[in-house]
Amino acid sequence: MRVRNRKRIMVTGGAGFLGSHLCERLLADGHDVLCVDNFYSGTKDNVVHLLANPHFELMRHDVTFPLYVEVDEIYNLACPASPIHYQRDPVQTTKTSVHGAINVLGLAKRTKARIFQASTSEVYGDPEVHPQDESYWGRVNPVGIRSCYDEGKRCAETLFFDYHRQHKVDIRVARIFNTYGPRMHPNDGRVVSNFIVQALRGEDITLFGDGSQTRSFCYVDDLIEAFVRFMDLDPGVTGPVNLGNPGEFTIRELAERVLALVGGRSRLVMRPLPQDDPRQRQPDITLARQLLDWEPRVPLEQGLERTVAHFRKVLAS
C-alpha cells in the first residue's frame, strides 16, 4: 500500500555531491526515488548506503539520451559542476546541459511531471552588478574556456521557460551559488575542497590571483531544504530563484579559516587567476526569502567543521 502523498521522483545526477544529499532527503520524506547518473563526476560511493532501501533505485544512464520512465517529479541536476570536470570534455558538458534539458523536459511534458532545473550563478558570469539578483542578465564570455558550462546552463534555462510557455510544463528554475559539504569530490578543483584537502595533506594552499575575489558559501543541507520548498510551491511559481548564502568572504579569508581549523604548516601560495574567473559572487536572496520563507542557517565555521571531518575520513581510508 502506498504512503499518502508518496511521489515517484527522479533525480538526474543523483550520485553526485548535491544529488546524493537530495536523494537522502526525498527518501526521508517518504518518496520513491529513481537516481539516474552516468558516473562521469558522480560516484556510487555517494549512494551505496541507500541501495538497501526498497524505495530507492539506481540507474546508470546518460541524460543526453532519452529516458522512458513514469515519474511525478523530476530534479535535473545532471551536469559536471566544477571547472576541472566540465572543462575536461567541454563539448559533452554543453550537450549534457542542452540535450539533457530537452530530454528531461520531454519526459516532463509526457508524464505531466513537475520539473526542477539546477541552474547556476555562473549564468551571471563576471558580474557588473553586486550582489546579483534574478533580474540581472549577466556578463558572460560566450567563447571562453568556461563557456561550455556557463552558456550551456543559460541555454537550459531558455529551454525550460520555452517548454513552460509553449507546452505548459510545470517548471522550477534555481540558480545555485557556491555550495559545500560532505561528499564533495576531493579533486574537483573547487575552492572549499581544494583548501581542505591541501591543508589536511600539509601541502601549500593555492590562491588564484591575490585572494581578494569574493564568494558566498552555502552549506549543502540548507540548499537541499530550499530545493524541496521550491518544488512544493503551487503551480505557476517558476523562478528563476537565487539559492545560496549571502554571507560574502574573500578567498583569502576562506583559506585562513580552513588553516585555523585544520592546523599544520601549510603556506598560502599565489597563482595566476584563471580566464573569466568572477571577481565577485554574492546572491541577493530576497526572492527566496519571500517565496520559500527560507534562508541559510548553518554558519560557515560550523559547515567547514563538518566538511573537514568528512575529508579526514576520506583521506584516511
40 as an active site residue: the answer is: no
User: Within a domain: residue 213?
Assistant: no
If 0-12 CB within 10 Å is exposed, 13-18 middle and 19+ buried, where does residue 102 land? middle
Domain that holds residue 165: 8-180+219-245+282-297
> Residue type for 242, please?
N
Q: Are 184 and 251 in contact (CB under 8 A)?
A: no
Residue 252: half-sphere exposure toward Cβ, Cα within 13 Å = 10
User: Within a domain: residue 304?
Assistant: no
**CATH number of residue 135's parent domain:** 3.40.50.720
Based on the structure, what is the number of domains in the chain?
Answer: 1
User: Within a domain: residue 169?
Assistant: yes
> Residue type for 264, please?
G
pLDDT in tens, the chain (317 residues): 345 689 999 999 999 999 999 999 999 999 999 999 999 989 999 999 999 999 999 999 999 999 999 999 999 999 987 777 788 889 999 999 999 999 999 999 999 999 999 999 999 998 898 899 999 999 999 999 999 999 999 999 999 999 999 999 999 999 999 999 999 988 877 889 999 999 999 998 988 878 888 889 999 999 999 999 999 999 889 999 999 999 989 999 999 999 999 988 888 888 876 665 667 778 999 999 999 999 999 999 999 999 999 999 999 87
Q: Are 153 and 177 in contact (CB under 8 A)?
A: no
User: Within a domain: residue 302?
Assistant: no
| Separation CA 180–CA 195 (nearest Å) | 12
C-alpha cell recorded at residue 44: 556510487
Distances, alpha carbon 297 to alpha carbons 218, 244, 245, 291, in Å: 9, 11, 9, 17
Q: How wide is the angle at C-alpha 130 spanned by C-alphas 125 and 134, nearest 5°?
A: 65
Handedness of CA 20, 26, 27, 28 (dihedral sign): positive
C-alpha cell recorded at residue 199: 591543508
The catalytic position among 75, 86, 124, 149 is 149
User: Within a domain: residue 273?
Assistant: no
Residue 179, pLDDT score: 96
| Separation CA 153–CA 174 (nearest Å) | 11
User: Within a domain: residue 266?
Assistant: no
Q: What does 204-250 look like in DSSP terms, one character per residue?
A: PEEEETTS--EEE-EEHHHHHHHHHHHHTSPTT----EEES---EEE
Max CA pair span of the chain: 60
Q: Are 125 and 150 in contact (CB under 8 A)?
A: yes
User: Within a domain: residue 223?
Assistant: yes
User: Within a domain: residue 191?
Assistant: no
Q: Are 54 and 25 in contact (CB under 8 A)?
A: no
Supply the pTM of this predicted model.
Answer: 0.93
Q: ω into residue 131 within 30 of 0, thus cis?
A: yes
Residue 85, pLDDT score: 77
- Which are the contacts of 299, defined by CB distance < 8 A and separation ≥ 6? none
